[in-house]
Amino acid sequence: MTAEALDNHHDHGPPKGYKRWLFSTNHKDIGTMYLIFATVMLFLGGGMAMLIRAELFIPGLQLVEPNFYNNMVTNHALVMIFGAIMPAAAGMANWMIPMMIGAPDMALPRLNNLSFWLLPMAAIMLVMAMVVPFFGGGAPVATGWTLYPPLSVQAGMGMDLTIFAIHTLGISSILASINIITTIINMRAPGMTWMKMPLFVWAWFFTAFLLILVMPALAGGVTMLLFDRHFGTSFFDAAGGGDPVLFQHLFWFFGHPEVYVLLLPSIGVLGTVIPAFSRKPLFGYKPLVYWMGFLTALGLVVWAHHQYTIGMSVAATTYFMIGTILVSIPIGLMLFNFIFTMWRGAMTFETPMLFAIAIILMFAFAGTTGVMLAVVPADMQYHDTYFVVAHFHYALIPGALFGLYAGVFYWLPKWTGYMYDETLGKIFFWWTTIAFNVTFFPQHFVGLAGMPRRIADYSAQFTDINIISSIGGIMFGLSHLLFLYIIIKTVRGGKPAEAKSWEGAQIGTPGLEWTVASPPPFHTFTTPPVVK
């Protein structure tokens, strides 16, 4: 840039209006855009879920055709995972990681901008994939989010749009992950050693590595699928010497670690919220870091527990069964660490803490049903029933979504400068938690009774439980209108956030918790500190 151009650049100052957002390299602005995008996609995916539950309210076809129903099931999953949960967690990472490690910004600000702007492009393709069948684009993408051939080979143009959307989402995730790892390794403030990093930073460090390792497997799988669809190859076509099970392995080598990609950032939020509202240092900080690392490694090598019914050898199924059961050990120990952090603490129960406690209770339940599903002979019965649907929603909604809610309510004063309405926050917590359990708890029983998933109709014997589940699902969806109202109300103004929003959040330390090194330099597990 010439001296004259440089002068002109400084004369104009930072970009204003839409240019501030379009060309932003500021980690806070980009974090805000991630969070707004995630909120929009949450409502889009939630709308699909409510339509699914409305269809299942009573037996028979009411609202949609079976193919379109399965199309919605496919897109609900893809929108929620890639459009809502991952971008929301990335928004928190963008906002908080530089501040937590004392960095001025992310290491690669322009790459950060690109990582975000790839997402709306992918979202447009996902929405187009859902609507093109209505305009002569062939059969809908009625495959479920797993995209298994031969169903995915036979789908119409929507499948191609889905494949390109997945590629774009994968590129975005990999670029963001490279940025996060580079920032954490190279930009920590002097004195911020590895074992002083807040747990949230550690959680994202492991998450970013997982994404870089597993996203290429999915990219390879969907590229081979594209070639089978249009270029005459037979990677997954048995008639041409291919194997549809190969796609399952490629998909689940991505798909199972993806569960930990969704889960780990929320564990990081718990490691921030629980010590703050217990007025105590995090119990067992170093073991928590090691368990997260162990979980990351173990999550990479247990993928085929999703595939017990494909006819693997006894040796292979035994290995995957034992490996999967072992996953319960680091998860269980992490939950115990959080429980012991609360033990004899001076606890208060603001909205973020309520969500944190709910996560521990409900995610422990998901772990119990997960061990049931890990056991091969049992899983042969549960496979592709509503028991599996109930299990993974108990893992992902408390384990990922509720963790993000805890983070949003905890950091909203930091992000906006205003305190949110605590009463409304607590109403939202109780409304959404009760509605969630009414929706998904009964599905365990209907699954054990044999109701298959991804079917638009069902036998009349399952009617009562489906009515309860659908009422819960619609109430769960409606609760998010209150969530949106709380956010907008806070952004527009209110009681200014104090320098110490959470009174006594860290005893004897000034400022909010995110300015404090974690773990703090003192330990006392004998007498709970007094909150003034």
Please tell me the distance from the alpha carbon of residue 302 to that of residue 330, in angstroms, as a whole number: 14
Please tell me the distance from the alpha carbon of residue 148 to that of residue 206, in angstroms, as a whole number: 28
Token pair 């998901």 in the structure block, residue: 366
Angle at CA of residue 44, ends 41 and 46, nearest 5°: 105
DSSP symbols for 169-222: HHHHHHHHHHHHHHHHHH-PPTT--GGGS-HHHHHHHHHHHHHHHHHHHHHHHH
Please tell me the distance from the alpha carbon of residue 194 to that of residue 346, in angstroms, as a whole number: 29
Please tell me the distance from the alpha carbon of residue 442 to that of residue 469, in angstroms, as a whole number: 7
Please tell me the distance from the alpha carbon of residue 259 to that of residue 305, in angstroms, as a whole number: 13
Contacts of 170 (CB under 8 A, 6+ apart): 215, 216, 218, 219
> The tokens of 494 are what?
């209110």
Buried b (16+ CB within 10 A) or exposed e, 371-400: eebbebeebeebbebbbbbbbbbbbbbbbb
- Tell me the CA end-to-end span of the chain in Å, nearest whole number: 56
> The tokens of 170 are what?
């994968």
> The tokens of 99 are what?
């501040």
Contacts of 409 (CB under 8 A, 6+ apart): 350, 351, 352, 355, 420, 425
Q: Which of 158, 163, 261 is nearest to 206 (CA)?
A: 261
Backbone φ and ψ of 524, nearest 5°: -145, 110
Residues of the chain with pLDDT under 50: 6-7, 503-532
Q: DSSP character for 401?
A: I
Backbone φ and ψ of 279, nearest 5°: 55, 45
Please tell me the distance from the alpha carbon of residue 454 to that of residue 49, in angstroms, as a whole number: 12
The whole-number pLDDT of residue 502 equals 59
Buried b (16+ CB within 10 A) or exposed e, 303-335: bbbbbbeeebeeeebebbbebbeebeebbebbb
Please tell me the distance from the alpha carbon of residue 112 to that of residue 26, in angstroms, as a whole number: 9
Q: DSSP character for 145?
A: T
Cα 466 → chain centroid: 26
The whole-number pLDDT of residue 307 equals 95
DSSP symbols for 27-55: HHHHHHHHHHHHHHHHHHHHHHHHHHHHH
* Cβ neighbourhood burial of 57 (10 Å; 0-12, 13-18, 19+): middle
> The tokens of 337 are what?
């660490």
Which amino acid type is present at position 340? F
Quick one: residue 519, left, alpha or beta (phi over 0 = left, psi -120 to 50 = alpha)?
Answer: beta
Contacts of 252 (CB under 8 A, 6+ apart): 303, 304, 306, 307
Please tell me the distance from the alpha carbon of residue 254 to that of residue 214, in angstroms, as a whole number: 5
> The tokens of 91 are what?
């928004």
The model carries a pTM of 0.91
Q: Are 153 and 227 in contact (CB under 8 A)?
A: no
Q: Which of 51, 218, 26, 42 is nearest to 123 (CA)?
A: 42
Please tell me the distance from the alpha carbon of residue 121 to that of residue 112, in angstroms, as a whole number: 15
Please tell me the distance from the alpha carbon of residue 491 to that of residue 484, in angstroms, as a whole number: 11
Could you give the residue ranges of the DSSP H alpha helices within 231-313?
244-278, 285-299
Cα 282 → chain centroid: 23
Backbone φ and ψ of 452, nearest 5°: -75, 150
Half-sphere exposure of 407 (CA within 13 A, CB side): 28
> The tokens of 501 are what?
């929003």
Backbone φ and ψ of 527, nearest 5°: -115, 130
Each residue's pLDDT tens digit, 369-425 = 999 999 999 999 999 999 999 999 999 999 999 999 999 999 999 999 999 999 999
Please tell me the distance from the alpha carbon of residue 441 to that of residue 379, in angstroms, as a whole number: 18
Which residues sit opposite 496 in a β-bridge? 418
